[in-house]
Amino acid sequence: MGISKVVVRYMDGRIVKGFTQNFSPDKDSFHLFANPSLSGSAKEVLMKELKALFFVREFAGDSKYQERKKHAPGENPSGRKVEVRFKDGEVMAGSSLAFDRRRKGFFLFPADPKGNNLKIFVVFATVETISKVNPP
């Protein structure tokens, strides 16, 4: 597995940015480093404390960019188009290849392929609803 640039969003609202190489949706934890060389001390991140893990292009993003919240007409992403409503009220739209409630979560691929988020690992425990999005 390569090195991933990630933004960790905890259930309590904390946000931590860093790099990881050992994230697995099936493990109880992974390690977060402050730099891409993965040198120095690592912070252990416990899955049970997460809301979501964002795999990003850049940490800062582009504050002027208006991210699309829906798929464009005629766009047919792999998987199922869904809307995820978190228990804290946040809503995200994208597509997912699979949901298995026996697992800790699932990957959501954002509706806007040009946005800063490449993919998001959503933790089931923080989700209020997952709705299938029907084409207009």
Which of 29, 7, 27, 10 has its CA nearest to residue 18? 7
Residue 23 lies in a domain: yes
Q: Is residue 33 in a domain? A: yes
Per-residue pLDDT of the chain (136 residues; tens, 9 = 90+): 689 999 999 999 999 999 999 999 999 999 999 999 988 899 999 999 999 999 999 998 777 887 777 777 777 788 889 999 999 999 999 999 988 888 999 999 999 888 899 999 999 999 999 998 865 5
CA distance 130 to 136: 18
Residue 77 lies in a domain: no
Within a domain: residue 20? yes
CATH code, domain with 42 = 2.30.30.100
Count up the domains in the chain and report the number.
Answer: 1
Domain span holding position 51: 4-56
Kindly state the tokens that stand for 46: 């416990």
